[in-house]
Amino acid sequence: MDFGFVLDWKYVRSRRTGHASPNRFHEQIRYRKASTLEAIMLLDARTVRFSDLAAAMKTGLAVLDAITRLRGDLLLKGVTGIARRDWSAGLSNLWIVIEQIISHIWDIEIVKKAEASGSPKSRRDQLSDNRTWTAAVKLEMLHQKGHLDADALNGLSAARKARNDLAHEGRTPSEASALAALSGVRTLIRVIMPRQPIPLFDLDLSDHAISDPFAPKQLIGEPRYWMPIPKLPGEEELETLEASLPRQVRSDERRR
């Protein structure tokens, strides 16, 4: 994140630049001080249409409006942790999201329905007591009511155990448990919004470069741009010296 000013709605003047690679790249490009290798990034610059950004924000806000207890920043941190293969960060953030969604479903399906049926306040308070109705108990109840199938329940149980091992024993979770938490979030959101497409869950998280758009891209097909490869310090002198040696000596040196 950069802090600065927008001048005449045309130019950006940074007052304090972040230390991340994208921040430095934008600062150097803005001042025309970037190196040749960095400037190459502008040949095929990544662009995002404002309409696509608005559509993505509309989808995200629709989910947050439907699940009032859900923290969007924790969901993004959890998915980012999975993409970066940081299983601890991914699992810990996603489990908080899971508990938020469980509480939302529990409130709608259990507490609100008890209130609508005329249950006394003491029963409603008892149903809202998280010490009695833990996350594990709530998941079992949601399974018994048909909101979660057996596979989803088993995956969420595995994620819950891995999260407890991380929190209480410092045991690093496995990739499988972190992915189980991600799958559990997807399943629980579909309980509330069965027909709402969530593009976030369509990302290919095995492509870990999605977290860094400035990472070097793999060449596909023939190169389209050329530039001389700069010599390393002393490389030119070594090449001149090698060229002056007899052919047999050069061949022997290479075999060594």
pLDDT tens readout for residues 74-127? 999 999 899 888 999 999 999 999 999 999 988 888 888 888 888 888 888 888
pLDDT, residue 211, reads: 47
* Residue 233 belongs to some domain of the structure: no
Q: Are residues 29 and 119 in the same domain?
A: no
* Model confidence at 40: pLDDT above 90: no
- The range of the structural domain enclosing residue 136 comes to 51-211
Give the tens place of pLDDT for each residue, 196-214.
Answer: 888 888 877 776 555 444 4
Q: Are residues 118 and 146 in the same domain?
A: yes
* Residue 235 belongs to some domain of the structure: no
Average pLDDT of every residue of the chain = 82
pLDDT, residue 214, reads: 45
Cα–Cα distance, 88 to 173 (Å, whole number): 6
Q: Are residues 17 and 56 in the same domain?
A: no
* Model confidence at 20: pLDDT above 90: no
* Residue 234 belongs to some domain of the structure: no
Q: Into how many domains does the chain fold?
A: 2
The mean per-residue pLDDT over the stretch 52-69 comes to: 86
Q: Are residues 59 and 143 in the same domain?
A: yes
Cα–Cα distance, 191 to 75 (Å, whole number): 17
* Residue 237 belongs to some domain of the structure: no
8 Å CB contact between 70 and 101:
yes
* Residue 227 belongs to some domain of the structure: no
Q: Are residues 108 and 190 in the same domain?
A: yes
Would you place residue 216 in the very low, low, confident or very high pLDDT band (cuts 50, 70, 90)?
low
Q: Are residues 93 and 163 in the same domain?
A: yes
User: Comparing C-alpha atoms, which of 70, 79, 56, 88 is closest to residue 189?
Assistant: 70
Count Cβ atoms below 10 Å from residue 139 Cβ, excluding itself.
Answer: 23
* Residue 229 belongs to some domain of the structure: no
Q: Are residues 9 and 79 in the same domain?
A: no
Q: Are residues 72 and 158 in the same domain?
A: yes
* Residue 255 belongs to some domain of the structure: no
Q: Are residues 33 and 71 in the same domain?
A: no
Give the tens place of pLDDT for each residue, 159-208.
Answer: 999 999 999 998 999 999 999 999 999 999 988 888 888 888 887 777 65
Q: Are residues 27 and 56 in the same domain?
A: no
Cα–Cα distance, 249 to 29 (Å, whole number): 48
Q: Are residues 39 and 55 in the same domain?
A: no
The region that residue 135 occupies, defined by phi over 0 for left and psi between -120 and 50 for alpha, beta otherwise, is alpha
Could you tell me the two tokens for 66?
């439907």
Distances (CA, A) of 16 to 1, 3, 11, 23, 44: 9, 5, 15, 10, 27
Cα–Cα distance, 232 to 234 (Å, whole number): 6
* Model confidence at 225: pLDDT above 80: no
